[in-house]
Every structure is written in structure tokens, then in C-alpha cells.
Amino acid sequence: MNAGPTYEPIDPVRFIGNHSSGKMGVAIADAFADLGADVDLVLGPSHEKPLNHGIKIHEVQTASEMYQKCMGIFPSAKISVLSAAVADFTPSHKARSKIKKEDGLQSIELEATKDILLSLGESKKENQFLVGFALETDNERKNAIKKLKAKNLDMIVLNSLKDDGAGFGHSTNKISIIDNKENSLEFPLKDKSQVAVDIVQSIMNLLDKK
């Protein structure tokens, strides 16, 4: 599993990041652990921590670190849930010292980060179950299904930023779940701990049908 944001350094004090708290992913880790699962959680910079002390936490900062850790854990994982908000781009060069305002900074050259979900989907074995997340603002279902197919997922959890109380910065979430046959389930707004139980139960139900 992974959760939280990544921070991509510009210099020793500044970074490119996002608003992900990691709360949803941490709640999913707890829900799995409560069922007796052995859980590895690759966690980006976050104040959120699992309640279940049996969860093994791997703390990372950057997209590159998250990629390496996820790729190392994945071969032995039966179920992988990728909920982290990983940066799509990172600065090509990190300044060794703080960039001074008076020195000016007209632009930051960026390069693409490695796509963790795509890499896992390409290496997924028959007995592995891979879940991704999609956070969309337009054509939500269409874009989520496109991602599910392109990255060889078994299931995708869709959030819409148009839904009040959903997405980043909330203790609640409103999701849709779509499987690889494009069947979908809609859930009402709930506390993220309850949403996590819905996600885990949906995974278990789909595994029973495999």
C-alpha cells in the first residue's frame, strides 16, 4: 500500500507538493490490519499514522523514493492499494543551497516521475490484486475507466472534486468503485474510516469472484 503526498525538492527548504493528507490510505491500511492482514504501508510526508501498531510503515519523501520502495515490496504482495498522490513531475535540478529571492528564479525545469501504478500493473502476476485511485474534475467515470484499463488494474476508486466533503482536506469522502469489467458501485458521503471498510469489503468480494 501507499498513501500521502510526495515532496519534490527545489532547494533545501522548498518543494513541490500537493494537498494530500494520507488520511484515506492510512484508514485503508488500518481496515486491512483489523482483518488480520500483514500490511506494509509506504507513506509520504504526513501527520497521519495508522492506529494499528502491527502495520509496517516505510516513510518516504519523494516520488523516486516511493517508486523504489513500492517496487521492492510488490512482488510478495497479494493485494496492493495505491492511494498516494504521487507527483507527476519533479525538478530536474535541486539547488544545493537556498535560492535567494534577490537572485531571482524565472522558471523551474521539470521532468516526469516514474509511474508507480503503471510499473506495478506491468509486472502484476495472476494471483495479485491491484487497486488504484482516480481523482477527477471532468468526465470522471470515463477517465477512471481509461486509467483502470491502461494500468492493468483490478479495481479503481473514483473521487470527484465536484462532490462536497470529498477529496483532499476532509475527514469524509464520497467514492465510486469500478472493477475491471466496468461494473460500478456508488457510495454516499461517509467518514474516511467507514469508506476504508467499504473499499476493503469490495476488494474481498471481487477476490471471491476470481
205 is known as an active-site residue? no
Alpha-carbon gap, residue 55 to 188, rounded angstroms: 28
Among residues 80, 111, 115, which one has the least CA distance to residue 93? 111
18, 52, 143, 180: the active-site residue: 18
Alpha-carbon gap, residue 1 to 28, rounded angstroms: 9
**φ, ψ dihedrals at 88, nearest 5°:** -80, -25
Residue type, 21: S
Among residues 90, 85, 89, which one has the least CA distance to residue 167? 85
Contact 22, 46 (CB under 8 A): yes
Contact 66, 60 (CB under 8 A): yes
Contact 1, 25 (CB under 8 A): yes
Alpha-carbon gap, residue 92 to 86, rounded angstroms: 16
Q: Which residues are catalytic?
A: 18
